[in-house]
Copies of this chain bind each other. A is one copy, B any other.
Amino acid sequence: MAVPIGLAVVGAGYWGPNLVRNAMATAALDLRWLCDLDVARARQVLGPYTTVAVTDSFDEILGDPSVQAVAIATPAASHFPLAMAALDAGKHVLVEKPLTASLADGQKLVQTAEDRGLVLMCDHTYCYTSAVQELRRLIRGGHLGGIQFVDSVRINLGLVQPDIDVLWDLAPHDLSILDFLMPPGLSVVSVSAHGADPIGHGVACVGYLTLRLSNGAIAHIHVNWLSPIKIRTMVIGGSHRTVVWDDMNPSQRLSVYDRGVDRMASQELDADDRQQVRISYRSGDMVAPALREQEALRMMMAEFAASILEGRPAATDGRAGLRVMSILDAAGRSLELDGVSVRVERPA
């Protein structure tokens, strides 16, 4: 095996410990630093039995020639300056979602990484689950047929965020999955957003996104911080089959139904039937494909390492992050306009 890639993790808050744990379990990576302004917190994350170094100086990391890559898990507002500095120092970069706080900043990052030939990867963790990998295989392999509708629900009694609304907090998961799953040529055209703040928190705690896809299909996302029950389901309706992903059911996450409504072409019908018998129903078997149990974050880390070693964009690269942000950006404007449909600009 090649020499492992020297890595520093930045941020020891909510998500950083997960990056640390998975980096330590990835043979292709050599975790050198955990960096946090609060050094005591960083030490606590690593525990008393570690050989990994701690620092509160981002510059120290950038100046360490053994560090080739940086994983950033800090508040969204700091993503841009940290990532840009790392790219400028010639480091590959992994960034927590969302890529940056503004679309313009995101575009600068992507451009810089491409100019310098560095990997810029978004941690769209869900894309590395067995379930989403299988969903992508099903869709790309044509097993579902044409996409007819997508309905995603991601609700639970979640951590109410002080600075961002529920759409910016949770919908990036659904949007990054959708981005990963959609077959080439299919894209989001417009978005309508609705939200409510029933607890007087200052930002929306309940949110709904309605996306119009380029083939006329509808995708809908429901995110909610206030639900006492945790639901994480996505239904993807296709012209051939429909798949239900229930992430709270580990023993049967995916269910592929050979059921649906077919509209018969009029040439198949007699003249008399044309008005009445235009619809037929399929009611076939359901198949729950066997999925390998794996930690998504482990797979994501492996992809980060592999994209660096192979000099190629990561599966969820900066451009994927931009596409997600452009939808969130349009959703924010729709929210201000009481749900009016807003066109989604494709990032350059």
Contact = CB atoms under 8 A, between A and B. Distances in A.
Interface of A: 24-25, 31, 47-52, 148-149, 151, 155, 157, 160, 162, 192, 194-196, 198-201, 205-206, 208, 210, 216-218, 220, 222, 224-230, 235, 237, 239, 242, 244, 248, 251-252, 255, 257-263, 275-276, 278-279, 281, 283-290, 338-341
Contacts of A284: 290
Given A226-B237, A252-B286, 18 more contacts: A24-B48, A149-B198, A157-B260, A196-B216, A196-B217, A198-B217, A198-B218, A205-B261, A206-B218, A208-B220, A226-B242, A227-B242, A228-B244, A228-B259, A248-B251, A259-B290, A338-B341, A339-B341
Contacts of A50: 49-51
A287 B289 contact: no
A261 B158 CA distance: 9
Contacts of A51: 48-51
A210 B204 CA distance: 15
| Among A162, A217, A226, residue most surrounded by chain B Cβ atoms (within 10 Å) | A226
B224 A222 contact: no
Nearest to A293: B283
A205 B149 CA distance: 10
A288 to B, nearest CB: 4
Contacts of A258: 290
Nearest to A205: B261
Contact of A24 (B49, B275, B276): B49
A163 to B, nearest CB: 10
A210 B230 contact: no
A339 B290 CA distance: 38
Contact of A251 (B196, B230, B261, B289): B230
Closest 5 CB pairs of A and B: A148-B198, A228-B257, A196-B218, A228-B259, A286-B288
A157 B259 contact: yes
A199 B47 contact: no
A341 B200 CA distance: 22
